[in-house]
């Protein structure tokens, strides 16, 4: 009998890849997407597309309005940073950090998993590109796994031993993309941008877009998504050359 696993599915590149990895390991996918009050809903639509493409058995979309608290450029009237250099992106905790988001999302995923009898939880966090986010670190994931087994009926009674899987945590974006393509992920279905236009077209300038584009460039592949600057060359060799030019300025 195929074992179920709960996948935190945001609709982004990383979570889609993590879900595909779980599927490749023989798990039956049960996805959880959280409508946490983000400023746009395009990633929720992307999560539905990805779930369908990966054959998710059960997909729950749960509203938890973190915009009531604010404190993040993703949930509040705070400008999303644009055109930041790689060094800026990697230093400090960015204003796009949503207070305690991964703790909240994992807690919801844990409750969902316990009702399903699923001992395995997958998420697409990455500590290489997003080193500034405290809730993307392996130390956090290890502590949450301890909590999961202490704070649940299934854990205390020993009917389940919860495991948190973060298969992308130490991979570069290029390696994530290559792995996803090996597993059949259609990245044209995903959404990454923090500040898209009304149609959902990615800005190409926020941290998330820049890291995504760099990943495709380093993988030697074009990004299948459209961007708001269609005249700008986004082919791999153009992006690589622009990075070289920026370093010499």
Q: Write the DSSP assignment of 152-197 as a string of letters.
A: SHHHHHTS---EEE-TTTT--HHHHHHHHHHTT--GGG----SS--
DSSP E strands, the chain: 4-8, 28-35, 58-63, 120-122, 163-165
Cα angle for residues 123, 38, 83 (degrees, 5° grid): 85
Q: What is the mean pLDDT of residues 88-106?
A: 92
Number of domains in the chain: 1
Element housing 98 (H / E)? none
Distance of CA 225 to the CA centre of its chain: 16
> What confidence score (pLDDT) does residue 91 get?
81
Cα angle for residues 60, 47, 76 (degrees, 5° grid): 95
Identify whether 246 is part of a domain.
no
Identify whether 199 is part of a domain.
no
Identify whether 75 is part of a domain.
yes
* pLDDT tens digits for range 214-244: 999 999 999 999 999 643 445 444 554 444 4
Residue 248 has pLDDT above 50, yes or no: no
Please report how the helices 42-53 and 13-24 are oriented relative to each other, as an axis angle in degrees rounded to 10: 20
Dmax over CA atoms of the chain, in Å, equals: 61
pLDDT band at 211 (very low <50, low <70, confident <90, very high): very high
Question: What CATH number does residue 69 fall under?
Answer: 3.40.50.620
Query: Which residues have CB under 8 Å from 52's CB, separation 6+?
Result: none
Identify whether 88 is part of a domain.
yes
Identify whether 200 is part of a domain.
no
> What confidence score (pLDDT) does residue 92 get?
85
Identify whether 94 is part of a domain.
yes
Which residue range is the domain that position 40 belongs to?
Answer: 4-193
Rounded-to-integer distance, Cα 208 and Cα 107, Å:
24
Identify whether 131 is part of a domain.
yes
* pLDDT tens digits for range 117-143: 999 999 999 987 655 789 999 999 999
Task: Retrieve residue 22's tokens.
Answer: 């779980």
Long-range contacts of 204-210 (CB under 8 A, 24+ apart): 204/228, 204/229, 204/232, 204/234, 205/82, 205/83, 206/80, 206/81, 206/82, 206/96, 207/81, 207/84, 207/89, 207/94, 207/96, 208/12, 208/96, 210/83, 210/84, 210/86, 210/89
C-beta of residue 187 within 8 angstroms of C-beta of residue 12: no
* pLDDT tens digits for range 38-71: 989 999 999 999 999 999 999 999 999 999 999 9
> What confidence score (pLDDT) does residue 83 get?
93
Element housing 198 (H / E)? none
The pTM of this model reads: 0.91
> What confidence score (pLDDT) does residue 90 get?
78
> What confidence score (pLDDT) does residue 129 get?
62
Identify whether 47 is part of a domain.
yes
Task: Retrieve residue 113's tokens.
Answer: 């998993």
């Amino acid at each position: 009998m195929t074992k179920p696993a709960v996948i935190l599915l945001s609709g982004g590149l990383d979570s889609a890849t993590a879900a595909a990895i779980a599927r490749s390991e023989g798990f039956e996918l049960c996805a959880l997407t959280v409508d946490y009050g983000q400023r746009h809903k395009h990633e929720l639509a992307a999560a539905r597309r990805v779930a369908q493409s990966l054959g998710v058995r059960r997909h729950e979309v749960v509203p938890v309005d973190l915009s009531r608290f604010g404190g993040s450029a993703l949930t509040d009237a705070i400008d999303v940073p644009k055109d930041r250099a790689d060094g800026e992106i990697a230093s400090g905790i960015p204003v796009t950090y949503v207070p305690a988001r991964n703790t909240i999302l994992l807690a919801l995923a844990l409750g969902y998993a316990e009702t399903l009898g699923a001992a395995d939880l997958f998420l697409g966090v990455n500590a290489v590109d997003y080193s500034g986010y405290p809730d993307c670190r392996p130390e956090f994931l290890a502590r949450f796994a301890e909590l999961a087994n202490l704070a649940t009926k299934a854990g205390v009674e020993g009917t389940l031993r919860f495991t948190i899987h973060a298969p992308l945590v130490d991979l570069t974006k290029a390696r994530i993309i290559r792995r996803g393509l090996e597993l059949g992920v259609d990245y044209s279905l995903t959404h990454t941008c923090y500040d898209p236009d009304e149609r959902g077209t990615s800005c190409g300038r926020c941290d998330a877009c820049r890291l995504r584009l760099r990943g495709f460039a380093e993988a030697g592949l074009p990004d299948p998504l459209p961007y708001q600057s269609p005249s700008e060359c986004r082919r791999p060799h153009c992006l690589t050359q622009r990075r070289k030019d920026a370093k010499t300025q």
